[in-house]
Amino acid sequence: MTKTKKNTKFYLLALIPFFVITFLFEILPLINVVIESFTKTGGGGFTFEHFIKIFSTRLYQQSIFNSIWISVVSALAGILIAFLGAKAANAASAKVRNIFTSVLNITSNFAGVPLAFAFMILLGNVGILTLIGKNYGISFLAEFDLYTINGLLLTYVYFQIPLATLLMLPIFSGLKKEWREAVGLLGGNSFHYWFKVAIPSLLPSILGTFSVLFANSLAAYGTAYALLSNNIALLPIRISQQYIGEVVQNQEFGCALSLVMMGLMVISILITNKFQKRSGGAS
C-alpha cells in the first residue's frame, strides 16, 4: 500500500510540468479571452457591444457564414473520400497499409502557406494545370478560378483528406468478417451489409471524425490568408486583423470574435455528441 502511494506521488510529480504548461498556454489565455471579450475597447468596463457588432454587421455575419459553410462542406467531402481510402487500405496487405499510412502522415502535415503556394503553381492564373487546360481546350481547368471561395474550398478539402483517413483507418478494424457472412446467409448483398450493418456501426466514429475536421477547418488561417489575403470574409482572418493593424489594434473585439469561433466549435461538438448517442455509442 505504501509502495502504491509512493508511485502515485511520483506520477503526480511527473505530471506537474504538463499541468503548468496547460495552465499557462491553455487555461490562462482562455480566461483572458473571455474577460477581454466583455471589456470595452481600451478597457474600463463590462459591455456586450462587441457581440452586438459581430451579429449585426454584415461583414462579420458573412465571415461566420463562410467559415461554417467551408468547414462543413470540406469536412463532409474529406470524410467521404477518406472513407473510401480507409476502406481500401483496410482490405490491402499489411505492407501496403504501412506505406499508405506513411504517405498520409507526410501529406497531413502539408498545409498552411506551402499548400497555398503549391495550388498557385498548379491552378493559379499561370499554373501548370491551368495552362494545360488552355492549350488543350479543357474548360474546367482553363476557367477554374483558384482565388475564390470555391478555390479555397478545394485546398481545404485537400488537407482534410489525409487527416480524415488517418482518423478513420483504425475504425475499420472493428468490422468483423462474421457480420458480412451473416448478412450473406440471410440473403443480403454488399449494399445491405454496408448500409444496414457496417456504416451504422461506424457512424459514431465517423461523427467524431467530422467534429475534428470541422474544428480543423474552422480555425485554419495560413492557407486562406496566403491564397486570398483579406479578399474573403473568414473568422480567422477577421480575428487576425484586430491584432496586426498598422494604425489601430482592437484586442477586445478580437477576443470577442475568438469567443464566437470557440462557441461554434463547442456547438459542433455538442451536435455530433447528440447524434453519436442516437446512433448507439461514442467514438
The whole-angstrom separation of Cα 159 and Cα 223 is 10
pLDDT at 283: 42
Q: Rounded to an integer, what distance in angstroms lies between the CA atom of residue 257 and that of residue 254? A: 5
Residue range 217-241, pLDDT digits in tens: 998 888 888 888 878 889 999 988 8
Of 110, 108, 90, the closest CA to residue 177 belongs to: 90
**Out of 57-61, 196-200, 276-280, least confident range:** 276-280
Task: Answer yes or no: is 213 within a domain.
Answer: yes
Residue 10 within a domain: no
* DSSP 8-state symbol, 281: -
Which pLDDT band, with edges at 50, 70 and 90, does 248 fall under?
Answer: low
- The pLDDT mean for the chain works out to 86
Element (DSSP H or E) covering residue 11: helix 2-22
User: Is 151 contained in some domain?
Assistant: yes
Q: In the chain, count H helices and then E strands.
A: 15, 0
Residue 11: inside a domain: no
Region 165-183: what's the mean pLDDT?
Answer: 84
The residue-averaged pLDDT of 88-106 equals: 86
Q: Indicate whether 52 belongs to any domain.
A: no
What is the tally of structural domains in the chain? 1
Structural domain boundaries enclosing 96: 57-279
CB neighbour list of residue 193: distance below 8 Å, 6 or more residues apart:
179, 180, 183, 184
What confidence tens digit (pLDDT) does each residue in 29-48 have?
A: 899 999 999 988 877 788 89
Tell me what pLDDT residue 247 has: 55
Nearest-angstrom CA–CA distance, 107 and 111: 8
- The CATH number of the domain holding residue 68 is 1.10.3720.10
Confidence at 246, pLDDT banded by 50, 70, 90 = low
pLDDT number for residue 28: 92
- Please give the pLDDT value at position 2: 61
- Residue 40 placed within a domain: no
Residue 268 lies in a domain: yes
Q: Report the distance separating Cα 264 and Cα 241, nearest Å.
A: 20
Residue predicted with more confidence, 190 or 27: 27
**Packing angle between helix 149-168 and helix 113-123, nearest 10 degrees?**
120
Report yes or no on 23 lying in a domain.
no
